Structure 1
Amino acid sequence: MEEVKGKLIALGGGYDDGLIKLIHSKICSLTSRIEVIATAATEAEESGQAYKEAFEELGCHNVRFMRIDEEHEADIPDNLKRIKQADVIFFTGGDQVRLASFLNGSELLRILRKRYREEEIIVAGTSAGAAIMSDRMIYDGYGHYSLIKGEMKTTTGCSFIKKVFIDTHFAERGRFGRLAHAVAHDPDYIGIGLSEETGIIIKKGNQVEVFGPGVVTIIDASEVAFSNLREVEENEPIAVENLKMHLLVNGYRYCLKEHLFQPVAATATLIHVDNSAVPAKG
């Protein structure tokens, strides 16, 4: 995995005031240029304006809502100019397939990926906005049915990072099965399951650190000894031997390249976010 200068911040959904406070207090200054992209949301304009106001309430005065949808193309000159100047890009929740379909193939996304690799910018998102961050994303698979061959489905993400599946609302919606199935099918990928109100910061394209009150689940298939996925018929259950799992909380991290679980260095500043009494925004 290449070392990058930017940071990815992904939240598992639910109450997201903690993510907004994290961006405001730990990541950027009050003068940072923040672009909110709400394409995934059912009511995109309403959602985008709500997040814009949430940042402004914390004192961020340079926040704009970038509308990208059927009537507003991604690659208009004003959008490209703004994406070149932004310090933080924030993707809201909603439908990750919709979001990725409007961004993939665009000049805007090409510029944003290049800036993420080469500059110290922040790409943040919650729920769908977190799921699109890798080159592949899970978009279907429910409960125990997701452990049936053919029931778990993936598609192309936005490729800020590669060889990772990021799944959201993980514990709350019973998504262990589909993440386990995904990495068993593609064992060179690491699965990252984000509980609601809990998220990760990915530094240097490799170091996954946790923020928030909950648990992040890591599923690693790199040492799988046997899987019947290639031989079993559609609609049959899958079998996998030696699938590894780790549970991360605030103060611990996982290094993707090294497949290494470790505490954050004692000299580092641990991230703590108060998620109490906050409204859900998507």
Structure 2
Amino acid sequence: MSMVKGTLIALGGGDDDCLIKLIKAEICSLGARIEVIASATPEASEAIRSGNAYKKAFEELGCANAHFMCIDEDNLVDTPANLERIKKAEVVFFTGGDQVRLANFLNGTELLRILRHRYHTDNIIISGTSAGAAIMSDRMIYDGYGHYSLIKGEMKTTTGCSFIRSVYIDTHFVERGRFGRLAHAVAHDPEYVGIGLSEETGIIIKEGDQVEVFGPGVVTIIDASEIRFSNTREVEENEPIAVENLKMHLLVHGYRYCLREHLFQAVPQEQSGAAVA
């Protein structure tokens, strides 16, 4: 398996000052080109406001080369200008909103193809909060509420943007009671690892494998690789699911989870401090 050169940085929603500061700490130069994409926000005027607010937030930290890329019903994705900008970007930041809307705009586009290729071959940072975090894998959860999400048919997934594969990233995880839907998703697709992000807390994924935590909260890892029984494929619609031997880990800053090895471990001290400069 070839080494992934890019870095994914995903926040679970809520106050995102820590995310903006972390992106600044991770980039090599304050002149790095940052592209903000706010297409997850349904209202065009709100998307413009949000995109420009993030642009300003980066500028206030000294990142003078931040830009807002307008992609919506009236502004096409694959314009020559957009493709040129995405080829030069060193950071791409996806804001929150509706992850299905965002994925629908991007999937099948040349812009996303370039971005995926660059994630594997360049030292690019692809980052996002809330919906912008949920789209990062090849599959994403977009529906399922509370205890109802443990009923067959109540948890729904769809195609994400496929920077990384075989993980489900769920956001606002503790605050919106999303344990059930993430557990259901990985029980149904046991080759996937579930990553539940609390608000104001996020992950950095390096080399497409090493998941480290930033922020003050807890990241929940749900691992179905050793389940001995699951009825998720056989049970009738509207019936509850049963799963045996689903594993869960609680990850905080200073620890990491290796996706390929399904391994929980402490981050060596000299690395740990650098993760949230």
Gaps of 5+ in 2: none
Contact 1:221 1:243 in 2 (8 A): yes
State which of 119, 124, 128 in structure 2 corresponds to 1:125.
128
Cα deviations by residue, 1:159-214 (Å, 9 ceiling, x for unpaired) = 00000000000000000000000000000000000000000000000000000000
Identity of aligned residues (%): 77
Alignment correspondent of 1:179: 182
Equivalent residue, structure 2, for 1:248: 251
Structure 1 equivalent of residue 260 of structure 2: 257
Tell me, yes or no, if the aligned pair for 2:254 and 2:272 is still in contact at 8 Å: no
Deviations 1:133-156 (A, max 9, x none): 000000000000000000000000
1:266 alignment counterpart: 269
> Does residue 65 of structure 2 align to residue 62 of structure 1?
yes
Question: Aligned partners of 1:271 and 1:163: how far apart in 2?
Answer: 27
C-alpha separation between the residues in 2 aligned to 1:28 and 1:165? Answer: 29
CA distance 1:39–1:28, change in 2 (3 Å): farther
User: Higher relative contact order by CA 8 Å / sep ≥ 6: 1 or 2?
Assistant: 1
What is the CA-CA distance between 1:62 and the residue it aligns to?
Answer: 0.3
Distance 1:70 1:271 in 2: 40
Classify the secondary structure of the residue corresponding to 2:116.
Answer: helix
Q: Which residue of 226, 229, 237 corresponds with 2:229?
A: 226
- Residue 39 (structure 1) aligns with: 39
Residue 96, structure 1, aligned to residue 99, structure 2: yes
Backbone CA RMSD of aligned residues: 1.2
Alignment of 1:154-173 (within 5 A): 154-173=157-176
Please report how far the alpha carbon of residue 270 of structure 1 lies from its aligned counterpart in structure 2 after TM superposition: 2.4
Q: Which runs of 5+ in 1 are unaligned?
A: 275-282
Distance 2:187 2:12 in 1: 22
Compute the TM-score of the two structures, normalised by the length of structure 2: 0.97
Change over 3 Å in CA distance of 1:209–1:132 after alignment to 2: same
Give the alignment partner of residue 236 of structure 1, picking from 204, 227, 239: 239
Cα pair 1:211 1:271 within 8 Å, conserved: no
What is the match of residue 136 of structure 1?
139
Runs of 4+ in 1 over 4 A off after TM superposition: 271-274
Q: How does 1:199-214 map to 2 (within 5 A)?
A: 199-214=202-217
Name the SS of the counterpart of 1:270 in structure 2.
Answer: helix
**Superimposed CA distance per residue, residues 206-226 of structure 1 (whole angstroms, 9 cap, x where no aligned partner):** 000000000000000000000
TM value normalised by structure 1:
0.95
- Write 1 or 2 for the structure with the bigger share of helix: 2
What's the secondary structure of 2:21's corresponding residue?
A: helix
SS of residue paired to 1:123:
strand
Q: AA paired with 1:14?
A: G
For 2:83, which of 80, 84, 90 is the aligned residue? 80
The Cα of 1:268 is off from its aligned counterpart by 1.6
